Structure 1
């Protein structure tokens, strides 16, 4: 008996290629630390309100019998130097830049420096500077980042290199920072995607001038380092930030590369207006990074044409570049000192009372001196009028 002819089995389906972007969207950084602009602002306002509540509780617990407490009460709580959300972000950025300098002092790699700065910004999305001074948190963030990124420094060596610190003063905030990070310690930075683009551009554009490409990547690294002091880490993915910084360095090269990647023979920006309406739903953030719970890129990839994909990506790149330019700030030392003094008053309100008492005493002393100086000329004038004529004057008269 002849067996029926067996059907030829179909070739197995090609497994879907997992991209770096797919891996990032499954990371804790994307799930926990990706926000819209409005959500990010709300978190900072909420953290500021926590700081205000903490300061008010400290003010309520002051001893009413103390002279300093009476001075604070009589001066009025509306005049108390609370820290505003804008000032909070300024002082955090100031110490983030100090963190960069301290990392350079210890000769730590850029990955450690970047992770420490991100830890610092993440911490103050849930806490206020009115509860924890950023100078102390910055030291702990850098020490923790060095451990996480396999560049460990002994706590004794670390503390001995920083004046007015002890191992306990640095380690006491470590668990608090871990809690604020939700124990999500891995940080994805744009430096690695930038290197990937550097290699991919050489592969897709073999005639590219390597000197030009190297110069552009070096400038892009500088832009990435500066972007650490902005909000783009919470609003865009690392590849988007890397492309934006590279586009800021050499826009023509990046657009040529993207057009070649998407199979476009000629760059034509024509679907831009239709895409803008869709992107603006994220309040200035691309739809790909604004909603961590969804994965719109997978659903849209089959619906958009290569031209529309190119247009949409270019809009995201330009938004990211604009955010880097707009949000970059570098507070001066005088601004940092002013805000830091307000933080110390919030942490210990009795110090503000001492300042008011001192000012009141100085004012009273100035008033007494002014009154005495005003009374002196009148008394001397009266004495001169009542004094008898001297003999010399009588001689002249005679």
Structure 2
């Protein structure tokens, strides 16, 4: 069963890579056609492409055209702005569920688009705004923009294109709630006293920090929240040693 799971994970990884390559190639084709890639988005979600360059000047301007970025460079940019997204959420004291939802929105958006077509900073802020709405932690676009010295109209302009790119599938399940459920079950099952309960809370905190790291990878697009929560708990437990796991009890044996 472990081999089947590994094959499935490899297949899903290849599927993600294929989507990133396709988005990158579409952006390169736009660059070749228009001489630019960045799109203008109206508040109703309408996209405006750059004006095509004059054909007579095409050969003369080729050397001065911007160069497309590689898939690896796109990944670096996405990770950079995912870290920024977490920083913004922490500065606004948003709950973990808002941060996780915004990150998933951001990741799913760039399965459809290249960072060359829509600036990650704009999409990052719009994803936070949308996540606050769906998670009932509403913050106005004006308040969000003012808090980070950005024009709130940009957030509103990009809101519809984000929803469209997500195909209006806005419900997100994050590992944080699963971790809390596992910790509660451990406490009830083991009948932990007050001293051990404090250690269990440290495990909870450590596991959430591990999830914060996991959320910056492609794992949330590949695995269900429960598996990510168990992986985070296992990693945190190596530090806090709340549960004794025999060395021979490897991950492969669990499957």
* TM-score of Structure 1 vs Structure 2, range by shorter chain: 0.7 to 0.9
What is the deviation of 1:106?
Answer: 2.2
Based on CA coordinates, which of the two structures has the bigger radius of gyration?
1
What is the deviation of 1:89?
Answer: 1.3
| Distance of aligned partners of 1:206 and 1:154 in 2 relative to their CA distance in 1, 3 Å threshold | same
Q: Which residue of 1 aligns with 2:18?
A: 42
Task: Tell me which of 145, 148, 154 is aligned to 1:162.
Answer: 148
The answer as to whether partners of 1:246 and 1:254 remain within 8 angstroms in 2 is no
Q: Which residue of 2 aligns with 1:62?
A: 53
Structure 1, unpaired ranges of 5+? 1-34, 257-265, 277-310, 314-398
Task: Tell me which of 177, 182, 190 is aligned to 2:167.
Answer: 182
How many correspondences in the alignment? 226
Within-5 A mapping of 1:1-398: 36-59=12-35, 61-64=52-55, 71-73=60-62, 75=63, 80-167=66-153, 169-207=154-192, 209-251=196-238, 253-254=242-243, 269=249, 311-313=253-255
TM-score (norm 2): 0.79
The answer as to whether partners of 2:85 and 2:99 remain within 8 angstroms in 1 is yes
Q: Deviations over 1:70-116 (max 9, x none)?
A: 6532x387xx5211111111101111111112222322212111111
| Larger relative contact order, structure 1 or 2 (CA cutoff 8 Å, min sep 6) | 1
For 1:255 and 1:45, the matched residues in 2 are separated by: 43
Give the aligned CA root-mean-square deviation in angstroms: 2.6
For 1:254 and 1:187, the matched residues in 2 are separated by: 30
For 1:203 and 1:268, the matched residues in 2 are separated by: 26
Structure 2, unpaired ranges of 5+? 1-10, 37-51
What's the secondary structure of 1:172's corresponding residue?
helix
The answer as to whether partners of 1:95 and 1:135 remain within 8 angstroms in 2 is yes
| Distance of aligned partners of 1:36 and 1:72 in 2 relative to their CA distance in 1, 3 Å threshold | same
For 1:214 and 1:239, the matched residues in 2 are separated by: 19
TM-score (norm 1): 0.52
